[in-house]
Amino acid sequence: MLAFTLAVFFLIITPGPGVLSAAGVGAGFGFRAGLAYVAGLFLGNNLVAFAVVSGLAGLLFSVPYVRTVLFAVSLGYLFYIAAKIAFAGSKLAFIHSENPPGFIGGVALQPINPKAYVVNTTFFTGFPFWADNLVGEIAIKFLIMNMIWLPIHLLWLYAGVSLHRLDLSKKTHMAINIAMAVAMLLVVIIAAVATLYSDPDPVPLETQVD
């Protein structure tokens, strides 16, 4: 269980689309908008975890070209989120940057976030600690995961909000927003490529971590 807890901490705290976009929304739009967005991310991540545990994710990824479609959709949506963050406060009408991605935006991100599938698959197929009670083990894993997931994302949000509250010039603020958006896109491209070209029927991770 300790190994699982440490894995959850280090895999979640590592910059990914979720935490970086939470910080970006906080930096671009403030705490209230960021909190709604993080709440959406929270629900979306648990939906992905349920899809992994139930086998639905494996079934979907067994269909030819699903990974390619996920890759394309995730890049498109994340470019949109990144543009919202990068141009927060600007007057570019095409992006409507005055309207932050809210709760629905957070929920929508996770099902097309490649890192969410990679991380949740690692959590729920590896690090066994209660072989006699699989349901109990899964329930405890959900509890531990969420107890770590939520404060980490709130900390990233707080970091973004702290930047939002600084008395920075408009040019500097936009430069920070653009840097966050670019970092988010780089991370998701790496995760998406890894997911796209990984073995569709991987060896169970519990055999890899023992």
What pLDDT, on the 0 to 100 scale, is given for residue 4? 81
**In the prediction, which pLDDT does 115 show?**
77
Q: How far apart are the first and last CA of the chain?
A: 13
Dihedral sign computed on CA atoms, order 36, 16, 47, 76? positive
- CA-angle at 83, arms to 162 and 16, nearest 5°: 65
* Sign of the alpha-carbon torsion through 61, 114, 188, 124: negative
- Burial status of residue 126 (CB atoms within 10 A of its CB: 0-12, 13-18, 19 or more): middle
Residue 28 and residue 99 in contact, taking contact as beta carbons nearer than 8 Å: no
The per-type count for the chain, helices as H runs and strands as E runs, is 10, 0
Residue 128, SS3?
Answer: coil
What does the pLDDT profile of the chain (210 residues) look like in tens digits?
A: 788 888 888 878 776 778 878 888 887 788 888 999 999 999 999 999 999 999 888 887 777 777 777 777 777 777 777 777 776 655 443 444 557 778 998 898 888 877 788 788 888 888 887 878 888 889 999 999 999 999 999 998 998 888 767 666 667 766 776 776 777 667 666 655 655 555 444 444 444 444
DSSP state of 111: G
